[in-house]
Amino acid sequence: MPAVVVFVAVIAIFALAYRFYSTYLAEKVYALDPDFVTPAHEFEDGVDYVPTNRHVLFGHHFTSIAGAAPIVGPAIAVVWGWLPALLWIVAGTVFAAGVHDTGSLVVSVRNKATNIGTLAQDVINPRSRTLFLAIIFFLLTLVNAVFAIVIGTLFVGNPEAVIPITLEIPLAIFIGQYIRRTNSSALVPSIAGVIVLYAMILVGMAYPIDITGIAEGLGMSARTLWILLLFIYGWIASRIPVWVLLQPRDYINSHQLFIALGVIFLGVLIGMDTIAAPAFNSVGGARNWFPFLFVTIACGAVSGFHSLVSSGTTSKQLDKDTDARYIGYMGSLGEGSLALGAVLATTAGIGIVGLNWGEQYADFGTASETALGNFVQGVAGFASNIGIPISYGTVFAAVVVISFAATTLDTGIRLQRYIIQEIGEIVDSRTLSQNLNLATTLAVVFPLGLALAPAGGDGDTLAFGRLWTLFGTTNQLTAGLALAVIAVWVTRNGRNAMAQIVPLTFLLFMTCWALFINLREFVANRDWLLAPLDLAIFVLAGWLIVEAVLAIRGARADRTAPVESPAEK
């Protein structure tokens, strides 16, 4: 199958979905009203609440939701063949992510731009906010663990990327300081930053950094040493102000996102390459696509974290109620397009560089080990179609993924520290809530333990594939909670909530099933680190099901007296 056919077909489906399904959602389900006074107008203050041009807000929203996860999930999931992965990305994006992201935005806007956690408390019940925070706690723990592994794996496989990625840190700090201290243009330094970063790839290629010798001297693998170093970096990066490193690095990353998408899709259009993977693939390693596909691709099909963005800043800046369709739904389609790029890179792109797909995806364990390298090689293949040497394109792709993942890691550790501090406040421990060093250390120790946990069963040294699917389950639970909130709101307003209830039921069913199978495996393998974690997430899933069923039933009973929002009850 030519990759370009798949590309054109998926983009055509996305266009039709936007034209028809998003219109149905906007008109019949969310009843968007052009005359509704949005919080951006009602509370307009020029700072947080600002009516914003929809194209400007879309740019902000899309760059806020796009990241490394829609790349990693599909790169693993094509182990079941390209078709199941692609079908879930398309169906998930159209029928789950679009509904979820647009709905989160609409419900937030109709409730004075309240965030999703508070909405859960208001729309469902106060217990739901505790449930929300608990899911976020587990989600962040898994995020930090898996992205440390992602970066460690890419550093080991691409030692040429170490120098550019390392130098990106002082480069970003310099750009941030330069912009602030000289009042100069952000355009020239940030583009110069990207050019310098990509020039550093040449230096990295000349001087690859391989720490295997040092690691062996310390009695560990190179990846383990990288993971340890990354958490030390994460500890420091999460303690310094965001404007020193995080924000200026986003200047560079925002350019990289569009450059990477451009390279992938231009490569597909110019190269006319054929997909090397089978449409369906039987997988060894006791992993069935049903239900694991649906928790392996989370971001890229549907991601609960998007509800935080939609109900965070985006809802405060929505100019017109009707703009929610464009920003929320189109943002989801953008994320789905990134996942499509990952599928094409790992199934068609790797053929260009001469990799044997069957060997790279021999079983689930192999797939989870090689997935990131496959994506990197695939992008390098597409880059070669537009005249970029494969050796350079390989490091370029590794730099893009590591840049995104590194930002996620230090942001995730910082967020985890906040949650630990909040827990300290709840249990009235001033030491925990006010000692930043202690809170940050705790935020590092637990994901570090998970990242280094032995995998058990298949003899692998790390549990990346299993950790990734656990990450997927918690991400889907977050999406499930947001969908439940939206469904209750839609039902209370006397409209048909099937557009939310169907993906909600599907996600919770698949998530619980995957958690149950995982739990059996962990117990059988005597994995006493992951088994309790899985059990805890399973309990949260059960709790969410109970709350969702009770809330939707309650909302149906209340239908006789529909209200616009809880605030108006």
Partner 1 sequence: MTADGPQHRILLVREWDSQTSGSGCCGRLGGEDCDVGHPDTFAHSRSLMEAMGAVYRALRAELPRRTVDITVVDPRNMVWLVPSILRDGRRRGMGPGELWRQLTGGVRNGAIVVDGRALFAHDYENTDDAVDAVLRELATAS
Site for partner 1 in 62-91 (CB under 8 A): 63-70
The whole-angstrom separation of Cα 222 and Cα 206 is 20
Q: Is the Cβ of residue 205 or residue 540 nearer to partner 1 in the bound state? A: 540
Q: Is residue 473 a contact residue for partner 1 (CB under 8 A)?
A: no
Q: Is residue 309 a contact residue for partner 1 (CB under 8 A)?
A: yes
Coil, helix or strand for 284?
Answer: strand
Q: Which stretch binds partner 1 (CB under 8 A): 1-9, 11-19, 223-231, 236-244?
A: 236-244
Write down the least CB distance from residue 216 to partner 1, Å.
32
Distances (CA, A) of 93 to 245, 313, 409: 32, 22, 25
For residue 53, the Cα-to-chain-centroid distance in whole angstroms is: 26
Q: Is the Cβ of residue 17 or residue 66 nearer to partner 1 in the bound state? A: 66
Write down the least CB distance from residue 40 to partner 1, Å.
10
**Could you say which of 241, 354, 387, 459 contacts partner 1 (CB under 8 A)?**
241
Ramachandran area for residue 66 (φ above 0: left; ψ -120 to 50: alpha; else beta):
beta
Task: Render 358-395 in DSSP notation, one character per residue.
Answer: HHHTSBHHHHHHHHHHHHHHHHHHHHHHTT--HHHHHH
Write down the least CB distance from residue 257 to partner 1, Å.
6
Site for partner 1 in 243-262 (CB under 8 A): 243, 246-247, 249-251, 253-255, 257-258
For residue 544, the Cα-to-chain-centroid distance in whole angstroms is: 21
For residue 320, the Cα-to-chain-centroid distance in whole angstroms is: 27
Write down the least CB distance from residue 113 to partner 1, Å.
8
The whole-angstrom separation of Cα 433 and Cα 380 is 46
Tokens of 276: 């090397």
Residue whose C-alpha is closest to residue 99's, from 337, 292, 342, 307? 307
**Could you say which of 411, 433, 476, 565 contacts partner 1 (CB under 8 A)?**
411
Site for partner 1 in 171-210 (CB under 8 A): 179-180, 183-188, 190
Task: Render 447-497 in DSSP notation, one character per residue.
Answer: HHHHHT----TT--SS-HHHHHHHHHHHHHHHHHHHHHHHHHHHHHTTS--
**Could you say which of 98, 103, 117, 267 contacts partner 1 (CB under 8 A)?**
117
Write down the least CB distance from residue 515 to partner 1, Å.
18
Q: Is the Cβ of residue 363 or residue 422 nearer to partner 1 in the bound state? A: 422
- Number of shown-chain residues binding partner 1 (CB under 8 A): 77
Task: Render 400-414 in DSSP notation, one character per residue.
Answer: HHHHHHHHHHHHHHH
Q: Is the Cβ of residue 256 or residue 360 nearer to partner 1 in the bound state? A: 256
Q: Is the Cβ of residue 51 or residue 454 nearer to partner 1 in the bound state? A: 51
Write down the least CB distance from residue 215 to partner 1, Å.
27
Site for partner 1 in 143-162 (CB under 8 A): 143, 147
For residue 237, the Cα-to-chain-centroid distance in whole angstroms is: 20
Q: Is the Cβ of residue 179 or residue 450 nearer to partner 1 in the bound state? A: 179
- Number of C-beta neighbours around residue 262 at 10 A: 11
- Number of C-beta neighbours around residue 190 at 10 A: 21
Q: Is the Cβ of residue 188 or residue 563 nearer to partner 1 in the bound state? A: 188
**Could you say which of 226, 231, 305, 357 contacts partner 1 (CB under 8 A)?**
305
Write down the least CB distance from residue 185 to partner 1, Å.
5
Q: Is the Cβ of residue 255 or residue 495 nearer to partner 1 in the bound state? A: 255
**Could you say which of 21, 31, 118, 288 contacts partner 1 (CB under 8 A)?**
118
Residue whose C-alpha is closest to residue 230's, from 420, 409, 69, 418? 409
Site for partner 1 in 22-61 (CB under 8 A): 44-48, 50, 52-53, 55-56, 59-60
Q: Is residue 132 a contact residue for partner 1 (CB under 8 A)?
A: yes
Q: Which stretch binds partner 1 (CB under 8 A): 2-10, 130-138, 162-170, 483-491?
A: 130-138
Write down the least CB distance from residue 321 to partner 1, Å.
17
Q: Is residue 131 a contact residue for partner 1 (CB under 8 A)?
A: no
The whole-angstrom separation of Cα 382 and Cα 379 is 5
**Could you say which of 366, 408, 473, 491 contacts partner 1 (CB under 8 A)?**
408
The whole-angstrom separation of Cα 197 and Cα 204 is 10
Write down the least CB distance from residue 116 to partner 1, Å.
7
- Partner residues linked to 318 by β-bridges: 52
Cis peptide before 454 (omega within 30 of 0): no
Q: Is residue 308 a contact residue for partner 1 (CB under 8 A)?
A: yes
Q: Is the Cβ of residue 243 or residue 528 nearer to partner 1 in the bound state? A: 243
Q: Encode 412-427 in three state secondary structure.
A: HHHHHHHHHHHHHHHC
The whole-angstrom separation of Cα 229 and Cα 543 is 37
Site for partner 1 in 429-468 (CB under 8 A): none
Residue whose C-alpha is closest to residue 412's, from 463, 454, 474, 481? 474
The whole-angstrom separation of Cα 490 and Cα 100 is 12
Q: Which stretch binds partner 1 (CB under 8 A): 149-157, 261-269, 305-313, 456-464?
A: 305-313
Q: Is the Cβ of residue 259 or residue 390 nearer to partner 1 in the bound state? A: 259
The whole-angstrom separation of Cα 443 and Cα 417 is 5
**Could you say which of 471, 489, 506, 538 contacts partner 1 (CB under 8 A)?**
471
- Residue pair 457/364 in contact (Cβ under 8 Å)? The answer is no
Write down the least CB distance from residue 152 to partner 1, Å.
17
Write down the least CB distance from residue 75 to partner 1, Å.
14
End-to-end CA distance of the chain: 55
Which residue do the tokens 């970063």 mark?
197
**Could you say which of 328, 336, 341, 412 contacts partner 1 (CB under 8 A)?**
412
Q: Is residue 335 a contact residue for partner 1 (CB under 8 A)?
A: yes
- Residue pair 160/395 in contact (Cβ under 8 Å)? The answer is yes
Q: Is the Cβ of residue 28 or residue 180 nearer to partner 1 in the bound state? A: 180
Q: Is residue 141 a contact residue for partner 1 (CB under 8 A)?
A: no
